[in-house]
Every structure is written in C-alpha cells, then in structure tokens.
Structure 1
C-alpha cells in the first residue's frame, strides 16, 4: 500500500488500509508520535497503544467508508473533518464524525498524527 502524497487523500488511504484487514497496512498511515482517540474520552499514544486501538476497530466486521468533509492544509500540516462508518451486509455497525490532523513526512507522503474518530460529534466536549 502506498501512502498518500496529498493531505486530502489520507482519509481514502485509511479506509483502503482498514479494508485490507492487515494491521501493518493500517499502522503505516499513522505517525506514532501522535494521538489516536479510538473511543470518546480515551486518547492514547505510542505504537503499542495504537496497535491495541486498531485491533479494537478491526474487531468490528465490515467495510469502512470515510467521506472527507474538508481538508485544510498549511505547509506540512493539515486538518481534516470526516464522516465515517463501518457496514456489514448493508447494516451500519458504527458511524461517527471525526477530526484528523495530518503531517507531511520527509519523503513527501502524509500520515495522521492526531485521529479523533468521534471528535466532530455534536455532544463531544473533549
């Protein structure tokens, strides 16, 4: 799997990686110096914690779809707002609105440094 070369393509790359169901493909999309919030109020950092968070998401059977609502870039940093879901046999297993911060890497590719999977929900305070 190739990493995206444009910030606005990161959401699609994450969904494609998730749909391979391959942990290494998914983890390639992330910068482990960052933060992932796999469930409201539970931010984690570091590779081990990222792996645990991804395992939790992978436990949800189905296909991930991510729609980019917007992506704003300033130099080597971008912020995106997403609407995502995981469906299985036309049944929505989980659906949310997220906020992601992406950082351009030295090789020109983009990775997610902050992934707040539920960060844009109306009742989300933190």
Structure 2
C-alpha cells in the first residue's frame, strides 16, 4: 500500500463526515479506523452490525475495494454535551467492472462522542441509515 498522510483528529463534530471522506480517499485503512471508538458499531447496507475495531476493519476494507473518490457533506449536526447526532449526504465516484463511470450515494446516520483529548470519534456509524429501515 502506498504511503499516505495521516488525517488530523476531528476537533468539531460537524467535521466528522468530511474527515471520513478524506480518510477513504487516502486509501489507508488506518486513517479510517482512527475515526472509531474501540467498541464502536458499524451497520452495513444489509443491516449487519459489526462491533469493535477488527470487525469494523473487515467491513471498511471491503469499502476500500470500491477505489473511488468520496465527497461527504453534512446535512445536520446536533451536538449535546459530549455526543452529537449527524446526518450527511455522500457520493463515491468510481467505475464499474467494465470501466464505466458510476456513483454510489446515500444519506448517513451517525453518533459521535467527544474524547478526553477533545477529538470526536464514531460510536455508531450507519452509512445508509437514512435510506433504509432497521
């Protein structure tokens, strides 16, 4: 894997989704994993829940196989004390197996928590949370 720059800690909860896009675009799994608490939950498009860094790593490695460019824009951020509820709109520009341009998009639902060092990390990440019922 080529060397990539480590992303900076997320200091404002509304910056979490753009930070995720930056981490995805780096192609470095470690950049993605640094955005999650150790016991965080990631919910897949199939409503499968993965809890903890190793199960989340497996799912995010699958995501990196898309090899596209992501843009993620906040729809809202509702902070309350040391947590925040987020919703974002994301688009991944990529190509299909035949080399044709395509895009994957959706609306996310996430909960992030402020850490003792002042940074924010995912507690619950549901990338397609607004698009489907649980």
TM bucket (normalised to shorter chain) is: over 0.9
Equivalent residue of 1:3, what SS? coil
Larger radius of gyration: 2
* Runs of 4+ with deviation above 6 angstroms: none
Tell me the distance in 1 between the aligned counterparts of 2:94 and 2:107.
19
- Give the TM-score normalised by the residue count of structure 1: 0.92
Once the two structures are TM-superposed, the CA of residue 91 in structure 1 deviates from its matched residue by 3.0
CA distance in 2, matches of 1:109, 1:60: 28
Question: What secondary structure is seen at the aligned counterpart in 1 of 2:108?
Answer: strand
Aligned residues: 124
Q: Structure 2: how far apart are the matches of 1:39 and 1:32?
A: 21
What secondary structure is seen at the aligned counterpart in 2 of 1:93? strand
Q: List alignment gaps of at least 5 residues for structure 1.
A: none
Q: Which residue of the other structure, out of 108, 111, 115, is the alignment partner of 2:118?
A: 108
Q: CA deviation at 1:10?
A: 0.6
Q: For the aligned residues, what is the CA RMSD? A: 1.4
TM-score (norm 2): 0.87
Distance 1:45 1:103 in 2: 16
Structure 2 residues not aligned, in runs of 5+: 1-6
Equivalent of residue 11 in structure 1, options 17, 25, 50:
17
Instruction: Give me the whole-angstrom Cα distance separating, in 1, the residues matched to 2:75 and 2:46.
Output: 20
